[in-house]
Structure 1
Amino acid sequence: MVNFDDKRSFYRMMLNSDVTVTIIDDEANSTLTATCRDLSATGMAIEMSHPIELNTDVRVTIDSSGNAVQPLDVKGKVVRVTEESSECYLIGINIAEID
């Protein structure tokens, strides 16, 4: 049974899915790969080998595993960066728009 004692407004779904992260800027949109650890209606946590600066605008795409479900494509902003080890960072993203 799911326990909502963590006071979240939306249920957080645990994942282990590969994602494509595009850093949105005026000069060149850099594309990186990462792993989505969890996802909710308003945010996600991704794991990657290097940090992304706070307040960076990003687009995250999660490919679908089949034709029955469409890929997820969201725009958001980096709101948290936690170093878990020397080559592992947990990036918190606040979702602003779902395409």
Structure 2
Amino acid sequence: MSLDDRNYSEKRDFIRMQVQTKAILEHAGQQYPALCLDLSSSGMQLEVDIALAVGDRIRVFIPSEHSALKGLEADAEVVRISAGRNGRHTLGLAILDMR
């Protein structure tokens, strides 16, 4: 299977939910505001102001707007970085562990 076939297959295997919600990114003991653009069972896309590198391990918190529901907390790895809007960075993340 070629890389293109694998990438296409991965995109088809996991439904991405467009969420546009506030998140908190934690890296090297610091927390930064982020915007979660989409979410699937295996990854997510965040828009952030800080510069990270492919391979960086981070933690992401997405608080719940409902008191009866727990928010999302995930350990993730940066697998893709691209230029976002207004000079921000768009990060493609692989979820390593959900809490």
Q: 1:18 aligns with which of 2, 19, 22?
A: 22
What SS class does the counterpart of residue 22 from structure 1 fall into?
Answer: strand
The total of aligned residue pairs comes to 90
* Contact 1:50–1:87 (Cα < 8 Å) also in 2: no
The offset of 1:84, in angstroms, is 2.7
- Residue aligning to 1:73: 73
Runs of 5+ in structure 2 lacking a partner? 1-7
Q: Provide the TM-score with structure 2 as the length reference.
A: 0.83
Query: Where do 5+ consecutive residues of structure 1 fail to align?
Result: 1-5
Structure 1 residue 51, shift from structure 2 partner? 2.4
Q: Match of 2:65, as an amino acid? A: S
More helix by share: 2
Share of identical aligned residues, percent? 24
- Which 4+ runs in 1 deviate beyond 3 A? none
**What's 1:62 paired with?**
62
Partner of 2:94: 94
CA distance in 2, matches of 1:60, 1:48: 12
Deviation at residue 31 of structure 1 after TM alignment: 1.1
1:85–1:65: structure 2 CA closer, same or farther, 3 Å change rule? closer
Q: Which residue of 1 aligns with 2:36?
A: 36
Deviation at 1:85, TM superposition (A): 4.4
1:33-76 deviations in whole A, cap 9, x for unaligned?
11000000000000012321110000000000012321100001
Instruction: Find the counterpart in structure 2 of residue 48 from structure 1.
Output: 48
TM-score of the two chains, using structure 1 as the length reference:
0.83
CA RMSD of aligned residues (A): 1.4
